[in-house]
């Protein structure tokens, strides 16, 4: 009982904190005077990486979401644990598959060379997300900056706050609402699954053992039956292929487009948390509209929702600090 009480109370307390900082003063071009090349430095490295290692685009985009949903966009995702008895956000299972830390460290080192102690790791994540998307043929948007870096990173908070790949629509809606994000932000930001890979374990139960019977017909009814053999061809039953990679948007997983919505509309989204976007009238209408449209509306919406997400719980002014290395508090 006590446990139950506290897991419910905790997010509520956090919501108040977040709302308290909702009018934080981020601004486009925050570094115009203090580090005029800041955005160009980030973009140059992401541009290089997207050429030599394009599959890093998906994971690099994911960092921003995984950061913002836990303690706000404060780069707490990047902090190393201080010791093994205090695991950090990055040690939480949903974060353990993120890749690209070295890219972030390189960018940060380049920024420190140009303008020491000026550009936050939190802003680096925001700029990386925009650059990855636009370099993958997606939309470009102006990124408000001026975030500062947090000094706290706690594994259990990541476990509590990050929406899971099996989440139902009511959980997703309430987890987004708890961050001040709308149902529209939920469906729009889900479109980020147009980019990158997932691991087989995220879909294995849906195709082999959805209700625990484990017989040949035990598949998720929300999944197109004709699509199951294709997925089975890519992922064998657990534990064999657990961490094998599978494209989230097969055929165009390296380009940012709206084919994710086409897939979901055909009941071919990879995660249960993709499929459930058909369970709510508002998210369903959006999915169906984008499924057969040019990406114009989605592209415009995506930039707006990314800016919305980028406002979550930000530290500004004299709050937090500007880390010298993203993995370490100063």
Ligand X SMILES: *[C@@H]1O[C@H](CO)[C@@H](O)[C@H](O)[C@H]1NC(C)=O
- Rounded to a whole number of angstroms, the minimum distance from the CB of residue 97 to ligand X is 14
Q: Does 236 bind ligand X (CB under 6 A)?
A: no
Q: Does 36 bind ligand X (CB under 6 A)?
A: no
- Rounded to a whole number of angstroms, the minimum distance from the CB of residue 324 to ligand X is 10
Q: Both tokens of residue 287?
A: 């999915």
Out of 55, 168, 182, 255, the residue judged to bind ligand X by CB under 6 A: 168
The span of 91-99, 223-231, 245-253, 321-329 binding ligand X (CB under 6 A) equals 321-329
Q: Is 66 a catalytic residue?
A: yes
How far, in Å, are 54, 135, 193 from residue 197 at the CA level? 11, 17, 8
Helices (H) and strands (E) in the chain, counts: 14, 4
Q: List the interface residues with ligand X, window 62-101 (CB under 6 A).
A: 80
The span of 30-38, 59-67, 163-171, 244-252 binding ligand X (CB under 6 A) equals 163-171
The answer to whether the annotation marks 70 as part of a ligand binding site is yes
Binding mask 190-209 for ligand X (x = CB under 6 A): -------------------x
# residues near ligand X by CB under 6 A: 12
The answer to whether the annotation marks 142 as part of a ligand binding site is no
Cβ nearer to ligand X, comparing 82 with 296: 82
The answer to whether the annotation marks 199 as part of a ligand binding site is no
CB atoms within 10 A of CB 317: 9
- Rounded to a whole number of angstroms, the minimum distance from the CB of residue 214 to ligand X is 3
Q: Does 21 bind ligand X (CB under 6 A)?
A: no
d(CA 69, CA 66): 6
Q: What is the DSSP letter of 181?
A: -
How far, in Å, are 3, 150, 231, 235, 291 from residue 225 at the CA level? 40, 46, 10, 16, 20
Length reported for the chain: 330
The answer to whether the annotation marks 274 as part of a ligand binding site is no
d(CA 39, CA 262): 33
**Catalytic residue chosen out of the listed positions 62, 66, 90, 108:** 66
- Rounded to a whole number of angstroms, the minimum distance from the CB of residue 167 to ligand X is 7
Q: Does 233 bind ligand X (CB under 6 A)?
A: no
| Rg (the chain; Cα; Å) | 20
3-state secondary structure 204-235: HHHHHCCCCCCCCCCCCCCCCHHHHHHHHHHC
Cβ nearer to ligand X, comparing 285 with 328: 328
- Rounded to a whole number of angstroms, the minimum distance from the CB of residue 112 to ligand X is 13
d(CA 37, CA 64): 21
Q: Both tokens of residue 34?
A: 């203090």
Out of 20, 36, 116, 214, the residue judged to bind ligand X by CB under 6 A: 214
- Rounded to a whole number of angstroms, the minimum distance from the CB of residue 165 to ligand X is 12
Q: Could you tell me if 105 and 75 are in contact, meaning their C-beta atoms sit under 8 angstroms apart? A: no
How far, in Å, are 62, 122, 261, 269, 294 from residue 58 at the CA level? 6, 18, 17, 16, 22
Cβ nearer to ligand X, comparing 50 with 75: 75
Q: Does 325 bind ligand X (CB under 6 A)?
A: yes
Residue ranges at the known binding site for substrate: 163
Question: What are the residues binding ligand X (CB under 6 A)?
Answer: 80, 168, 170-171, 209, 212, 214, 237-238, 325, 327-328
Catalytic residues: 66
């Amino acid at each position: 009982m006590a446990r139950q009480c506290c897991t419910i109370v905790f997010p509520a307390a956090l919501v108040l904190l977040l709302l308290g900082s909702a009018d934080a003063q981020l601004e486009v071009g925050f570094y115009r005077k203090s580090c005029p090349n800041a955005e160009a430095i980030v973009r140059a490295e992401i541009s290089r990486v997207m050429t030599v290692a394009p599959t890093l685009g998906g994971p690099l985009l994911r960092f921003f979401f995984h950061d913002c949903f836990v303690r706000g966009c404060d780069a707490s995702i990047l902090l190393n644990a201080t010791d093994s008895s205090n695991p950090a956000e990055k040690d939480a299972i949903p974060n353990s598959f993120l890749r690209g830390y070295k890219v972030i460290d390189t960018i940060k080192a380049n920024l420190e060379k140009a303008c020491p102690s000026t550009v936050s790791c939190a802003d680096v994540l925001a700029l990386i997300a925009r650059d990855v998307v636009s370099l993958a043929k997606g939309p470009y948007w102006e990124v408000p900056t001026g975030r500062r870096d947090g000094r706290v990173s706690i594994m259990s908070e990541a476990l509590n706050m990050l929406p899971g790949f099996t989440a139902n629509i009511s959980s997703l809606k309430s987890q987004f609402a708890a961050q001040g994000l709308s149902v529209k932000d939920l469906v729009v930001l889900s479109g980020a699954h147009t980019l990158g890979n997932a691991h087989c374990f995220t879909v294995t139960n849906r195709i082999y053992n959805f209700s625990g019977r484990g017989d040949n017909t035990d598949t998720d009814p929300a999944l197109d039956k004709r699509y199951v053999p294709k997925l089975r061809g890519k992922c064998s039953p657990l534990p064999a292929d657990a961490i094998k990679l599978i494209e989230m948007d097969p055929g165009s997983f390296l380009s940012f487009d709206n084919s994710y919505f086409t897939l979901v509309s055909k009941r071919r989204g990879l995660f249960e948390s993709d499929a459930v976007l058909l369970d709510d009238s508002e998210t369903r209408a959006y999915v169906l509209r984008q499924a057969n449209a040019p990406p114009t509306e989605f592209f415009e919406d995506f930039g707006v929702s990314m800016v919305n997400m980028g406002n979550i719980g930000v530290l500004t002014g004299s709050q937090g600090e500007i880390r010298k290395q993203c993995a370490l508090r100063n």
